[in-house]
Amino acid sequence: MVSVPVVFTTGYLRLPRGGDSMPRNARLPTAAMIPTFSRMRFLVSLVCLIVFSHLPLQANTPAVVSGLREEYKAKMEVWTLSMQTATTAEAQQKIWSQRPDAVVYATKLWAALKPQLAQDWTIEPCAWLLKLINTFPADGITPETLEMRKEIILQILGAVEKQHLRSAKLAPMCLGLVAVRDSLALKLLERIEKENPDRSVQGVAALAIATLLQDLSEDPENMKRRLTLIRKAIIESAHVEIDGISVAKIADDQLYVIRYLTKNRVAPDLSGVDETGATGKLSEYAGKVVVLLFWNSAIPDYERVLEIQNKLVKKMEGKPFVLIGVTNDSLPSLRVMKAEGVITWRNFLDPKGELARQYRVQGLPFCYVLDHERKIQYVGNPGSFVELTADALLLDVK
């Protein structure tokens, strides 16, 4: 499973939820703490946060929706950079408690969008909202929030089907539907591909369908259908840009995944520098089962994710197994986490997201499980399937 690009990202971060606003006494990172390539982005985000927090907005208008989105993105940018530059576990915990709350912003956005769903200006922000509600954490979510998420999905899908199915503005919604990842979204995308008169919209819908089909199976017929759909997307919609990324680039990534990152393919020989300054490669671990975890300290429920990985490493002690992390957290922060036992495995530093791009990672956390010949046997989120796959593969290691 590979996620489509999400607009509220920093590098290859998948942004989590959190508190409603940044307290006035919150400690922001200083210029010396922020990597050079991130400083301009940080300053721009900080300015946007100040501006959008003070815009006078009228109820139920496009300005409300735009202002809320930009405010959330600016807050997340500032918060994420603060997390990445924290130099102690205590500082990380303090900053973590101040993270912007995706649930609060989703609630406000939905209140503004819900009465206006028949208007075509809502199509693009509704697509963004579908992606935002996909970042809600698995733990601690209330029944009311689950009900709201269900309502948002059903009403947006219903509005698209009944009022916007033939709209030329549906391209962003096609990728928004990928975040829903269920049979209703797939069926709606198939209708859009067949019934929308705009050929570029048809192409984006085809790309979205191909993305969802990778979750079903890797049998030859499904693979053939995916390739046909991706080809259509390139022919009809290569020029289309969504959230600053061209359909041509997304389609190229999908083709790369099919050719090099599907089950039983030999994984690319990723190489990097770890927290000790030593260089390393995946090929060094020939003969071992490898879990390759892409993560950082800004992922949703990161403490739970790290706890699961630590338990897995402990369980596999003495076996031909290794867990390798890839993260864009700062080196000082990573060393502190390692020294304090928050993480217990080797990590390659990826400050610019180059290693994640090599593996076409779009959302965090994300895992690859490789057998003793470095062939890919699992792709997806960390969790029980990772452990089950690793256990099964160890039976084949002599």
Model confidence over 280-327: pLDDT tens digits?
999 999 999 999 999 988 887 788 899 999 999 999 999 999 999 999
Among the residue ranges 14-23, 112-121, 169-178, the one predicted with the least confidence is 14-23
φ, ψ of residue 242 to 5 degrees: the values are -130, 120
**Closest by Cα among 343, 347, 362, 371 to 272:** 347
Average pLDDT over residues 334-346: 91
Q: Pairing between strand 289-294 and 366-370?
A: antiparallel
Confidence of residue 362 (pLDDT cuts 50, 70, 90): confident
pLDDT at 43: 57
Statement: residue 258 has pLDDT above 70:
yes
Statement: residue 225 has pLDDT above 90:
yes
Q: Please, is 93 exposed, middle or buried when counting C-beta atoms within 10 Å of its C-beta (0-12, 13-18, 19+)?
A: exposed
pLDDT at 364: 87
Confidence of residue 217 (pLDDT cuts 50, 70, 90): confident
Confidence of residue 387 (pLDDT cuts 50, 70, 90): very high
Confidence of residue 2 (pLDDT cuts 50, 70, 90): very low
Grouping H, G, I as helix, E, B as strand and the rest as coil, residue 347 is: strand
Among the residue ranges 238-242, 325-329, 361-365, the one predicted with the least confidence is 361-365
Confidence of residue 91 (pLDDT cuts 50, 70, 90): confident
**How far is the C-alpha of 104 from the C-alpha of 126, rounded, in Å?**
16
Average pLDDT over residues 222-232: 95
pLDDT at 214: 83
341-to-92, 233, 310, 334, 335 alpha-carbon distances in Å:
14, 47, 9, 11, 10
Average pLDDT over residues 249-259: 93
pLDDT at 32: 43
Confidence of residue 51 (pLDDT cuts 50, 70, 90): low
Instruction: Give me 126's structure tokens.
Output: 């509704």
pLDDT at 30: 42
Asked if residues 71 and 109 have their Cβ atoms less than 8 Å apart, the reply is no
Among the residue ranges 55-59, 74-78, 92-96, 107-111, the one predicted with the least confidence is 55-59
Average pLDDT over residues 65-76: 93
Cα four-point dihedral sign 274, 276, 277, 283 = negative
pTM comes to 0.76
What is the 3-state composition of the chain as percent helix, strand, coil, each rounded to the nearest 5? Answer: 55, 10, 35
Cα four-point dihedral sign 191, 179, 265, 376 = negative
List, in order, residues 6 or more apart from 10 with CB less than 8 Å away: 41, 76, 77, 80, 81, 298
Task: Please tell me the class of the 271-394 domain.
Answer: alpha beta
Statement: residue 31 has pLDDT above 90:
no
What CATH architecture does domain 31-260 belong to?
Answer: Alpha Horseshoe (1.25)
**How far is the C-alpha of 39 from the C-alpha of 176, rounded, in Å?**
30
Q: Please, is 244 exposed, middle or buried when counting C-beta atoms within 10 Å of its C-beta (0-12, 13-18, 19+)?
A: exposed
Q: What is the mean pLDDT of the chain?
A: 85
- Is the model more confident about 96 or about 254? 254
Confidence of residue 219 (pLDDT cuts 50, 70, 90): confident
Q: Please, is 109 exposed, middle or buried when counting C-beta atoms within 10 Å of its C-beta (0-12, 13-18, 19+)?
A: buried
Asked if residues 311 and 289 have their Cβ atoms less than 8 Å apart, the reply is no
Confidence of residue 39 (pLDDT cuts 50, 70, 90): low
196-to-37, 98, 167, 188, 201 alpha-carbon distances in Å:
42, 43, 7, 11, 7
Statement: residue 260 has pLDDT above 90:
yes
Prior bond of 365 cis (ω within 30°): yes
Asked if residues 189 and 212 have their Cβ atoms less than 8 Å apart, the reply is yes
Grouping H, G, I as helix, E, B as strand and the rest as coil, residue 348 is: strand
Q: Do domains 31-260 and 271-394 have the same CATH topology?
A: no
Domain locations along the chain: 31-260, 271-394
Grouping H, G, I as helix, E, B as strand and the rest as coil, residue 186 is: helix
Among the residue ranges 14-18, 73-77, 128-132, the one predicted with the least confidence is 14-18
